[in-house]
Amino acid sequence: MAHVEHPGPVVHAPAAPGRIPLLGHALPLWRQPIAFLESLREHGDIVRLDIGTWPVHVLTSPDHVHAVLVRQAQQFGRGRIFDRLRPMFGNGIVTTDGEFHRKQRRMVQPAFHRDHIAEYAEVMCRAAEAMCASWTAGREVSMLNETRRYALSSVADMTFSGGLSGAAIAEVHRSLPIVLQGMLLRVVMPKSLDRLPIPPHRRFDTAAARLRRIIDQAIAQCGVEQEDRHDLLSLLLSSVDAETGAKMSPEQVRDEVIAIMFAGTETPATTLAWIFHELGRHPDVEKRLHEEVDAVVGQRPVRPADLPRLTYANNVFQEALRLHSPLLFTRRALEPLTLGGVSIPAGAELAYSPYALHRDPALFRDPTTFDPDRWREDGDEQPRAHRYIPFGAGQHKCIGDSFAVAEILTAVATVASRWKLVPAPGVTVRELPAGIPQPSELPMIPVSRH
């Protein structure tokens, strides 16, 4: 069993093969990042990677990941990816750590309470209905665009209601995709190049400023309106810290809203896209899903109360998320320590990859096979908690996991109750590297089920 010990004799982590001076492992990471990250497990439980001159210790064993995220979490801070995000997104729970993060998390958590998720789910049901109603039988749709629009609507609608909501929601649809796209470039580029006056930077800065402005306006509006609103914005503005009795400043609420929008859009959109891709490739799975949805929902609109009864749909979701998980998150050692016999100096960066863990043949039977039945109550994956961490673990575990489950099951069930989605002929869907690897394209043809 791995655990974090106090420092002993210095033992270095083995370096991944293929390192060259100055560039480190930048070339294989650039050419085939996903395959390269997956290959690291062959070289040890902790493997050193050099991204240029930036060394990262990649954890390939679930026990070490659990030690860093949960058992010894207080010895680790957020790490470089999050440092690069902070100037853009401010001090929301996504980018901060330590006492400040714990306080903010306590205040944001109530907005993700079960009762609120049920309220948001009502809105998701309407958004999923609208998506299905916009399709025409036989006319190809890009399921990448459709799932992005649906995820943007889910997050924007849960955030705003009241007077300004139309303008704010439209601004989220306009600006957030630009911000999400530009962000990846900022994370991988050196900080010194942030101010380069190139078009992607200008587009990013303008979109981020517009997003901040509309959220600030909505916050100001909340202050003058007397309505009893149940959106994320008003929940955060009225949230009181149980320990100190303090409320958040309007600026802090804005940072939290941006953090949640940033963390909560691309991941569910991409997961949903992969689900439709896998269903299109596995007609047997699709047929069983249709049978379940017909029995639970029939032809009426999906209701939030249906979601817990969609057990097979939930297995399909878990399995798609296993195969298509987020690629990499970082942490930073706050003090010198030893992990599994390897010395980690203070300030060293560590990283874990849910994607690589979930495809490890030592952890999952036939890991590249899409098999929702492995998640059945009597299936072989149920007890393996530390190995399946699509939402992370510990104090930074995804705050939106229940929101994501509701959002995804609502869309899957609504679509399944109306449409069968057939992959467009002659298209090979490839996996593109990103924070959560994306389908290269996903054209599908809706065929009416009724």
Given the complex with ligand HEM, which of 93 and 444 has the nearer CB atom?
Answer: 93
Given the complex with ligand HEM, which of 59 and 445 has the nearer CB atom?
Answer: 59
353: left (phi over 0), alpha (psi -120 to 50) or beta: beta
**CB 32, min distance to ligand HEM, A:** 22
Given the complex with ligand HEM, which of 348 and 445 has the nearer CB atom?
Answer: 348
Where do runs of H (alpha helix) occur along 134-248?
143-159, 165-188, 199-224, 232-238
**CB 47, min distance to ligand HEM, A:** 19
Tokens of 428: 């090979």
- Distance in angstroms (rounded) separating the CA atoms of residues 144 and 390: 20
- For residues 324 and 270, is the Cβ–Cβ distance under 8 A? yes
**CB 238, min distance to ligand HEM, A:** 19
Tokens 């998701």 correspond to what residue?
124
- Distance in angstroms (rounded) separating the CA atoms of residues 316 and 324: 12
- Distance in angstroms (rounded) separating the CA atoms of residues 90 and 253: 10
**CB 196, min distance to ligand HEM, A:** 28
Residue of this chain nearest to ligand HEM (CB atom): 400
Phi, psi of 124 (to 5 degrees): -60, -40
Nearest C-alpha neighbor of 179 from the set 200, 161, 193, 151: 200
Q: How far is CA 204 from the centre of its chain?
A: 20
**CB 449, min distance to ligand HEM, A:** 26
Phi, psi of 48 (to 5 degrees): -90, 130
CB count, 10 Å around CB of 298?
9
Given the complex with ligand HEM, which of 28 and 400 has the nearer CB atom?
Answer: 400
Given the complex with ligand HEM, which of 28 and 304 has the nearer CB atom?
Answer: 304
**CB 392, min distance to ligand HEM, A:** 3
Given the complex with ligand HEM, which of 135 and 355 has the nearer CB atom?
Answer: 355
- For residues 258 and 212, is the Cβ–Cβ distance under 8 A? yes
**CB 387, min distance to ligand HEM, A:** 14
User: What do you get for the CA distance between the two ends of the chain, in Å?
Assistant: 54
* Three-state SS at 192: helix
Where do runs of H (alpha helix) occur along 225-249?
232-238
Given the complex with ligand HEM, which of 349 and 420 has the nearer CB atom?
Answer: 349
Given the complex with ligand HEM, which of 28 and 153 has the nearer CB atom?
Answer: 153
**CB 261, min distance to ligand HEM, A:** 8
**CB 37, min distance to ligand HEM, A:** 15
Tokens 């817990």 correspond to what residue?
308
Given the complex with ligand HEM, which of 28 and 390 has the nearer CB atom?
Answer: 390
CB count, 10 Å around CB of 354?
23
CB count, 10 Å around CB of 384?
12
**CB 297, min distance to ligand HEM, A:** 22
Given the complex with ligand HEM, which of 48 and 101 has the nearer CB atom?
Answer: 101
- Distance in angstroms (rounded) separating the CA atoms of residues 363 and 374: 13
- Distance in angstroms (rounded) separating the CA atoms of residues 295 and 167: 39
Q: What does each C-alpha distance from 438 to 218, 326, 408, 431 come to in angstroms?
A: 32, 10, 16, 6
**CB 1, min distance to ligand HEM, A:** 21
**CB 202, min distance to ligand HEM, A:** 27
283-296 helix and 311-323 helix, angle to the nearest 10 degrees? 140
Given the complex with ligand HEM, which of 126 and 201 has the nearer CB atom?
Answer: 126
Given the complex with ligand HEM, which of 14 and 308 has the nearer CB atom?
Answer: 308
Tokens of 336: 């010198």
Contacts to ligand HEM by CB under 6 A: 93-94, 105, 155, 259-260, 263-264, 267-268, 271, 321, 326, 329, 354, 390-392, 396, 398-400, 403-404
199-224 helix and 165-188 helix, angle to the nearest 10 degrees? 140
